[in-house]
Structure 1
Amino acid sequence: MERTVTVLVYSDDVTTREQVRLAAGRRPAADAPAVEYVECATLPAVLAELEKGGIDACVLDGEAVPAGGMGVCRQIKDEIFDCPPVLLLIARPQDAWLATWSRAEATVAHPLDPAELAASLASLLRGRLSSAA
């Protein structure tokens, strides 16, 4: 049976969460495993899902309110043992330096390019799965 991975998508905006799901799809790359999504609209929901375990990667919206994805990323990197890799959605390419501060493994700028988002997510998942093997 093929392995399925779980990706947490955090944004207070339901449209942004939908854009991520549609852009990456059920399989972000031909060599990537099938993806199931867990959507979170609040920081407490993100923390609860990560504490349960089973999350293979996170996509965090840097523009979410009141807890922005950059701060959430930094917090989970500090607090969650074996924190999954994070793809951070940023407002502008110039914000990439802030993503470095937050310790995100990858960034994609708004407006979301489906090919770029899928490729970045697939890369994170490949790295996560190869380190778990």
Structure 2
Amino acid sequence: MSAPFGDPIASNSSAAGAQPNREPKMASAEQLVLELSNPDLRENALLELSKKEELFQDLAPLLWNSFGTIAALLQEIVSIYPVLSPPNLTPAQSNRVCNALALLQCVASHPDTRMLFLNAHIPLYLYPFLNTTSKSRPFEYLRLTSLG
């Protein structure tokens, strides 16, 4: 089995050739999780993982145990703090952070990662979203997603 954070080209070739019995969906999930660590690929990876999270078995432990992944998700969250007040959140920013929140909700709801998530006090990062008062759609979507 290849290392989960090896060279992306090597990972793709080993997933395709050396591991014929490997679940293709999980290989895809691993590649998308790897892409979360690259700021240039992160937005698409967030979108794809959040759309398909129910298709990936054990996505929550993969997210939690992959180096830098939770940090990347938290970086997405704190990156929009400056646009919360004054309220300047765009729909694109709202969608992106809501995709990150969906992945954190996946981690929070999985029995193997729930207590780790809570013990890390990650919900504290969501309080600024709940304190917003803007009635615009991006803010409403952000508050609703933050509540899970």
TM-score using structure 1 length: 0.30
Of Structure 1 and Structure 2, which has the larger fraction of its residues in strand? 1
Of Structure 1 and Structure 2, which has the larger fraction of its residues in helix? 2
Larger gyration radius, structure 1 or structure 2: 2
**Relative contact order, CA 8 A, sep 6+: which one is greater?**
1
